[in-house]
Amino acid sequence: MVPQYATRLVAAVAATIGLAGHVVSAGCPSYSSYSQYRHEPYSKGAYTLSYQRPEPGCRTFNSTVVEDAILRMKNLTTDPDLFRLFENTYPNTIDTAIKWRGFAANNTKEELAFIITGDIDAMWIRDSANQVAPYRSVLKSKDDDIASIFRGAINLQARYLIISPYCNAFLPPPEAELHPQPNGAMYSVTPPYDRNIVFTCNFELDDFGAFLQLSHDYYTRTGDVDFFGKFQWINAVQSILSASEALRKPTYGPDGEWIPPAYTFQSQTMTAFGTLGNNGMSYPVNERAWCAHVPTQRRRRHLRLPDPRQHDAVGASLEATAVIMEKLPTRPKAWRARCATWPPASAPGSSNSAS
């Protein structure tokens, strides 16, 4: 095995040449390399597990509420290996994935957080929401350090959902000056999208649910309703509703005539599951917000069928979000009626669902 210090040196040099973010110093190894080697101190349990948190100077965000939670957990956990697993994983998003934090160029009060899933400099809507979600248990006030990550994620997701609601992964915002690397893959998508903003455009209905759920988490933990009226959040919810309404339109009319769907996706791929059938239009649907790309990417993906569980989950998130919208003086007048048109699980169209 290569000595650890040699590996770290190579990785550090690579990081200096390559992706020097705003947050982490250029001398830090990329976490993809760092995570492949064992680091001391090892846990005192049977498994002598490695300590995998980056050096403090190389972490992408510091949170005292998260550090306090780790210390509390240490007191409560008698198995040192179990505690080590928690200590390595719980802070992992803030340690490694907050690629950039800052403010919108057109509003110096609008916090933004660009959160990556791993080695690619792109932010997935669903993944970033779910990476931040575990910190809701330590989020108690809008003044907590971690609250800024929630607001930054929600604001940036809102921007993306307004620009391209059917897309699922996005490049860094121009404010980050991270020199985005557009995706070289060949996709043909309607509606068309800007390759300098979007990384992939695989529509997933649960992206909407993830954004709404994160919003609800932030609201219920902090009570900070004003935040939602200040920036783009209302417009993002409107964009989600419009995009869903368009997808709920049937693709066959009463007389069987063809109605093109709002979203189509075709890709040059080596697998049958990597594109949508029926020339990118998928199966005909009838009234339900269908889901083109499902999260497990295996179970239902090949069927390309509407997914009633996702449909209902987004409906539930919309209901939860309604609590916020009702408190905002600037809410659009007709929004409640639009929200109410989300058909319940038993609505007509369930014959399309392969549950």
Ligand X SMILES: *[C@@H]1O[C@H](CO)[C@@H](O)[C@H](O)[C@H]1NC(C)=O
Write out the residues near ligand X by the rule CB under 6 A.
Answer: 23, 56-57, 59-62, 71-72, 75, 104, 106, 159, 163
Q: Where are the beta strands (DSSP E) in the chain?
A: 98-104, 107-115, 123-124, 169-170, 187-190, 198-200, 264-267
How near is the Cβ of 269 to ligand X at its closest, in Å? Answer: 31
- Beta-carbon count within 10 A of 133 CB: 16
Q: Considering only CA atoms, which of 337, 93, 135 is closest in space to residue 222?
A: 135
How near is the Cβ of 159 to ligand X at its closest, in Å? Answer: 5
CB nearer ligand X, residue 211 or residue 342: 211
Do residues 46 and 13 touch, judged by C-beta distance below 8 A?
no
How near is the Cβ of 50 to ligand X at its closest, in Å? Answer: 21
| Token reading at 181 | 């690397």
Amino acid letter for position 129:
A
How near is the Cβ of 127 to ligand X at its closest, in Å? Answer: 21
CB nearer ligand X, residue 159 or residue 304: 159
CB nearer ligand X, residue 11 or residue 104: 104
CB nearer ligand X, residue 240 or residue 294: 240
How near is the Cβ of 336 to ligand X at its closest, in Å? Answer: 24
CB nearer ligand X, residue 32 or residue 62: 62
Do residues 211 and 129 touch, judged by C-beta distance below 8 A?
yes
How near is the Cβ of 295 to ligand X at its closest, in Å? Answer: 26
How near is the Cβ of 24 to ligand X at its closest, in Å? Answer: 7
How far apart are alpha carbons 302 and 277 in whole angstroms? 9
How near is the Cβ of 167 to ligand X at its closest, in Å? Answer: 14
Number of H-type helices and E-type strands within the chain: 13, 7
User: How is residue 334 annotated by DSSP?
Assistant: T
CB nearer ligand X, residue 240 or residue 289: 240
Q: Tell which phi-psi region holds residue 155, choosing left (phi > 0), alpha (psi between -120 and 50) or beta.
A: alpha
Longest dimension (CA), the chain: 71
CB nearer ligand X, residue 62 or residue 137: 62
CA distances from 136 to 132, 133, 164, 318, 348 (A): 8, 6, 27, 19, 36
How far apart are alpha carbons 83 and 269 in whole angstroms? 43
CB nearer ligand X, residue 75 or residue 196: 75
Burial class from Cβ neighbours inside 10 Å (0-12, 13-18, 19+) for residue 17 reads exposed
